[in-house]
Structure 1
């Protein structure tokens, strides 16, 4: 109840798993027992999977809230309070993951357990790559590496959960492949959309701070080359040797980094739309099509 309240819109991954399960419906080879345990076109095990997916995602969000205290100073506040907060974040995230793993075992499907377990491993690897990358590595991150890191940390869980939902309803490999493809491209497009927001929003007075590993920056750096990128960084530094993000944002927008990221976002959105066409026309499929279309709008 604390995590899932009516005032946030975080549980989107579980919703997508449920919508995809309903759009696909039961398979032709499904047993009568499986059909009897279906409510509104969604099997009980698929509902449990949607909850497990959301628990795993939330657990990693909580873990991401851990603060690096290496450069903590007295002016930042009581150190003991932050250390306690970090411990609570670790324990809370671990508690959610433990519940997710317990629910996963209760599904009694070894392939689904293997899929979701590998997704957890992918997310861990993706977050590890993010946390161990220093500024120098960020400045050398190319488009291929960005796509690999983004899939691990943002795409693998949804893609494999969508595939697992098809496995639970005993759909064939082709349907599972289409579900995986839909989840992969939808999550990649969503990440690109969120990376693009600081570069396309027009609201005045908002902070222009953004990550150097954001897609438009990565694409811009690859287009202009490392030498020119280093020159641009020097030009936007203030007297205190800090970066003026407003000027840096303008520099990135002046080249094709933003438009390239937008094109890639549209590509992933269209690929997700193509994949979902493999399932019968329904309200659930229309909802998924609307979600896939929304990520291409800025």
Structure 2
């Protein structure tokens, strides 16, 4: 089963999400509307909405309620990306100029705030205290993770525990929330909801580790941004941390990683990381998370949604962009 087959099977509901995404960021403020729709027009995998919709298949599938949740979570994700691009001083995302590059830092920050606020307005239409408590706590953790990432830019002394906590907050948490809230809205059984939450969390951990591998190995055309972009911006990912610990050239690597890193130093640092075995180590860890992700599905009914979630897990682990 290919990812496009899953999109096609959910097409009518994903189309509802797409329309809602654009409707929710409508505003009479012309520049704010342009900036808010800019990232949405660039597309994306829409993994979070798909997770919400597929989780809903295990309970009472209410398309109106589920697409509201799916839309809100994609808006929250989009808001974090707009803010990330300011923090990272990123010029490109998904192959197109970022909101920050087009409108400047101040406009980008307000745009991210606006998108987040629109998500919260939409989600407030669902009267479920547990739902809102879970989402609010998750947003707090995501923000704390972003602050920690800023704190650790160019920090060559951070460890694996810090990295794993960071990617949990950066990526895994929102994917786990997607499957969990989809299950809650669909009134799934508690054990089903817990299994879907574990699936989303482990899929998210694998997803981010694969992202960090691709940042160093994929082409800039496929990435939609420069190769080694994270390293250049001081965001030290798992392959880099492994090289800092195990590479015979770790002292050279440490000397290259600093806020005034030149292009020549960045290129040499990437070479050292690739030669260190860090990419292979990261792949092994991603594989372990993916095994846990697939095990989370074993107790679920063997319906079409289970097979689709299995296919998505394999896509996450095997993708090249």
Q: Same fold (TM over 0.5)?
A: yes
Distance in 1 separating the partners of 2:262 and 2:302: 57
SS at 1:107 equivalent:
coil
- Which residue of 2 is the match for residue 36 of structure 1? none
Contact 1:43 1:169 in 2 (8 A): no
1:169 Cα shift? 2.2
Map 1:15-26 onto structure 2 (within 5 A).
15-22=50-57, 24-26=58-60
Structure 1 spans left out of the alignment, 5+ residues: 27-40, 70-80
TM-score by length of 1: 0.78
Task: Determine the structure 1 residue equivalent to 2:18.
Answer: none
1:247 aligns with 2:268: yes
Instruction: Indicate if the aligned counterparts of 2:196 and 2:296 stay in contact, CA closer than 8 A.
Output: yes
Deviations 1:91-141, CA, capped at 9 Å, x for gaps: 211111111112222110000000111111111111111123242xx2112
1:11 partnered with 2:46? yes
Shift of 1:170: 2.2
Q: List gaps (5 residues or longer) in structure 2.
A: 1-21, 23-36, 90-99
In the alignment, the residues of structure 1 paired with residue 228 and residue 310 of structure 2 have an alpha-carbon distance, to the nearest angstrom, of 32
Would the aligned equivalents of 2:212 and 2:237 in 1 still touch at CA under 8 Å? yes
Q: Conserved in 2, the CA contact under 8 Å of 1:219 and 1:257?
A: yes
Match of residue 191, structure 1, among 177, 202, 208 = 208
Q: Which residue number corresponds to residue 167 of structure 1? A: 184
Q: TM-score, normalised by structure 2?
A: 0.73
Task: Name the larger-Rg structure.
Answer: 1
- What is the 5 A alignment of 1:47-196? 47-66=67-86, 85-135=104-154, 138-196=155-213
Rounded Cα–Cα distance in structure 2 between residues aligned with 1:68 and 1:256: 27
In the alignment of these two chains, the number of paired residues is 264
1:155 and 1:183 in contact (8 A); partners too: yes
**How far did 1:208 drift?**
4.2
Where do residues 280-291 of structure 1 align in structure 2 (5 Å cutoff)?
280-291=301-312
Shift of 1:241: 6.2
Aligned partner (choices 218, 239, 258) of residue 241 of structure 2: 218
Q: List, as ranges, runs of 4+ consecutive aligned residues in structure 1 with deviation greater than 4 Å.
A: 81-84, 233-237, 240-243
Q: How far off its partner does 1:172 sit? A: 2.9
Say if 1:232 and 1:251, in contact at 8 Å, map to a contact too. Answer: yes
CA distance, structure 1, for counterparts of residue 70 and residue 120 of structure 2: 13
How far off its partner does 1:195 sit? 0.7
1:185-230, Cα deviation, whole Å (9 max, x unpaired): 11111111111114444799x95434341221112223349xx522
**CA–CA separation in structure 2 for the residues paired with 1:173 and 1:235:** 50
